[in-house]
Structure 1
Amino acid sequence: MVIQRGKENVISLIPGRLQADGHSHTVEKYSKFAYSSKFGFSIMRSNVTLAECAPDSMLAFEAYGYFFVKDVIEPEFTVSEERLSFSWSPIRGIHVDTVIEPTESGHVRTHRITSDIACTAYDCGFALSTDDRKPFERYEQGEESSVENGDGYCEVHSLEGGGKGQVLIPDPNTNLMHPKTSIPMAVYQIHPGTQTIRTEIRYL
C-alpha cells in the first residue's frame, strides 16, 4: 500500500487481494486501484450496464454484453514508494499487467492487456458528488475528462492507447457517501492481441 496525502484527503494506492472469499462486496472494498477518505467509493449494483457497475478507481471491461473488473491478483506482485506492479484477469481470455506510479498530482496507470477478443475498456477515476443542489462541473474533450465540485476534483487523461475522455453518470445511491456522483474516465478500444494503455489520474 502507498499512502498519499492532500488537503483534507488521504488516498491509498493498493494492488488488491490475493484470494476471494464469500463476504459481500469484497471486490469494491478491496480490489480498487485507489481509495479516498474524501470521495469514498462506489458499490456495484450489477454488471449489466456501466451505470450500475459504477467502476470508480477501476479498469472495467465490456465484453459479451456485461462489465467485468478486477477481483483477485496473481501471487507475484511488488509494492514500493515508486510503483505498484501486479497482474490480474477480469474474465477468461483477458489478462492485464498493471503498473501504478504515484505522482505529485495523483498517479499514472499503465496496463499491458492481452486479449483474445475485441472489447472496450474503461479506466476510471474517483466518483465525485454531483448533487443538483450544489455547484459542480463535468468536462470531457478529446483525451481528457474531469469532474469538479466544492470539495475537490478528479481529472483523467489518456496518455497512450488512444483513449477518449468521457464522464460516467452512475445510478443514484451507488456511492457510500453521496447519492449522486459522476466518474471521469478514459475509454479504450481493445483489439485481439497485446496492447498497452496508459492513463493519468489527477486529484491532489
Structure 2
Amino acid sequence: MPSLEEDEAIRGAAESDPDARPLTAEQLKAMVPLKSLRGRPRSESKKVLLSVRYSPEVVAYFKATGDGWQSRMDSVLREYVEHQAKAGSISLHEEHRAYGSNDPESAGISGGVEQMDDEQLNRSLQSIGMACFVKYFRQFNDTGLSNAQLVDLLIRDERYTESGSRTRVGQARRIIRNQRAREALRIVEHATRIADEVRRDAGRLADALGSTC
C-alpha cells in the first residue's frame, strides 16, 4: 500500500496528465455495467419465440444473404401476411386476433360478423384442413369451449404446433361466426381428394345443421 505522501504524489501526477485524470463523481454515477450494453438493441416489436422446421433450401437461401437473415425471413413472411390480410379484407390486427396469436380467447364464435366471400371461405378451409374441420367441427362449434382449450386439444391430439393450432381454431370459428359452416361442410362433402369417410361425415354434419348455420 502506498503511503499518504506517495498517494498524494500519484494523484497529483494523474491530475496533471489530461489523458489520465481521475473520474469525477458525476462521471462515475453515469457509468453502466458493460454487460448491459452487449447484444442487439431491444426491438419495439415484440417477437414470439417458436420452434419451427423449414425446408433446407429455404434456410440455405436466407443464410446465404448474410448477417440478419432471420430478420429478412421475418420480413418476407410479414409481407405475405399483409398481402393475404388485404386480399381477405381483414386487417393484420384483426387477423392476429382471429388466429388467437396474442389472446386465444379474443375471437370466439360470438365475435363480430364480417363479409366472407367464397374465395375467403375456401382459403380459410384450406388453412384448417378439410379433415380437421370435419373431425373437430362439433368442438369448433361448441360455445362452451374457449379458443385456448381448442388450441390445447389440437396440440395434444394432432401434434400440431401451437401456431398451426391457433390458425386452425381461428379460421374454423371465423367460418362458423360468419354463418358459412354449412357451405364449408358441403365443399368437403363434394371434394374429390379426400377420404370417403370424411366426405360422408361432412354431409351428415351439413344435413344436421340445415340452414341455421
Given the two structures, how large is their TM-score scaled by the length of structure 2? Answer: 0.24
Greater radius of gyration (CA) = 2
Indicate the structure whose relative CO is greater, using CA pairs within 8 Å and at least 6 residues apart: 1
Bigger fraction of residues in helix: 2
